[in-house]
């Protein structure tokens, strides 16, 4: 597997799109875990995991299966 930590942060939208396409292409052979705040990069993911703080000092893990979320949204 490959872990990437905000490697898309300095990229403009055009290069982020190229980066996302490359990751998607390679994901047939390599499992990726990446940390990002970029919406373009998030849109190409199959699963999203996030950490949120509902109350000060209390972190909560949130997981979203994109295919399942789309199915629920269109139902």
In the predicted model, is pLDDT for residue 12 greater than 90? yes
pLDDT at residue 54, as a whole number = 85
Contact 51, 26 (CB under 8 A): no
pLDDT tens track for 34-49? 999 999 999 999 999 9
Domains of the chain by residue range: 1-44, 46-75
């Amino acid at each position: 597997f490959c872990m990437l930590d905000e490697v898309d942060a300095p990229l403009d939208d055009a290069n982020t799109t190229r980066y996302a396409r490359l990751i998607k292409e390679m994901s047939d052979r390599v499992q990726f875990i990446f940390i990002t705040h970029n919406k373009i990069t998030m849109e190409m993911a199959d699963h999203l995991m996030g950490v949120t703080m509902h109350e000060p000092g209390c972190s909560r893990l949130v997981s979203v299966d994109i295919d399942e979320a789309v199915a629920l949204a269109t139902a």
